[in-house]
């Protein structure tokens, strides 16, 4: 399963996220999919979702904020039914962040770790850890500590 798992995850990032071939979602994701990743600025996991539909909405949501986003799988490791991937995401913020924050026009580059469980040749469960703090600093959403002192 290791080679198949590598290819499944590689296709997700290359074909779905980078090339926006959203039809591939039906081949890669199970209908019964568990999403554990919380969206930036979110406070809860989506949980049980329709895998292909969920992924299409994630790609559409991300691309509305970062039309030039590119996600590169830097390392993929598979064992039994689990796959871990280290991803570098880069893009320019030209759309409203989460539909709320005005575009910054700035670029970001940060890493994410994604874990997937595979069953019957499809992705069925997902966890993620992202470097949201460096991304928010690069996008100018927050300032680094040590700025000018506050005067009251």
Provide the residue-wise pLDDT of the chain in tens; the chain has 152 residues.
588 888 999 999 999 999 999 999 999 999 999 999 877 666 777 889 999 999 999 999 999 999 999 999 999 999 999 999 999 999 999 999 988 899 999 999 999 999 999 999 999 999 999 998 899 999 999 888 876 555 55
**How far lies 12's CA from each of 7, 18, 47, 106, 110, in Å?**
9, 9, 20, 26, 18
Cα 35 from Cα 38, distance rounded (Å): 8
Domain boundaries along the sequence of the chain? 2-138
Fold category of 2-138 in CATH: Nuclear Transport Factor 2; Chain: A, (3.10.450)
Burial 6-15 (b: 16+ CB within 10 A, else e): bebbebbbbb
Report DSSP letters for 63-81, one per residue. Answer: HHH-TT-EEEEEEEEEETT
């Amino acid at each position: 399963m290791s080679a198949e798992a590598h290819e499944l995850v590689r296709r997700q990032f290359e074909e779905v996220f980078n090339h926006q071939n959203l039809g591939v979602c039906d081949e890669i994701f199970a209908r019964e999919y568990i999403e554990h990743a919380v969206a930036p600025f979110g406070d809860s996991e989506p949980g049980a979702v329709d895998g292909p539909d969920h992924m299409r909405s994630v790609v559409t949501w991300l691309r509305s904020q970062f039309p030039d986003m590119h996600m590169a799988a830097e390392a993929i490791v598979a064992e039994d039914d689990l796959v871990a991937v280290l991803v570098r995401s880069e893009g320019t913020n030209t759309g409203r962040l989460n539909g709320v924050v005005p575009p910054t026009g700035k670029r970001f580059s940060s890493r994410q770790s994604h874990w997937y469980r595979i069953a019957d040749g499809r992705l069925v469960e997902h966890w993620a850890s992202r470097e949201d703090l460096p991304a928010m600093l690069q996008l100018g959403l927050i300032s680094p500590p040590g700025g000018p002192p506050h005067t009251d």
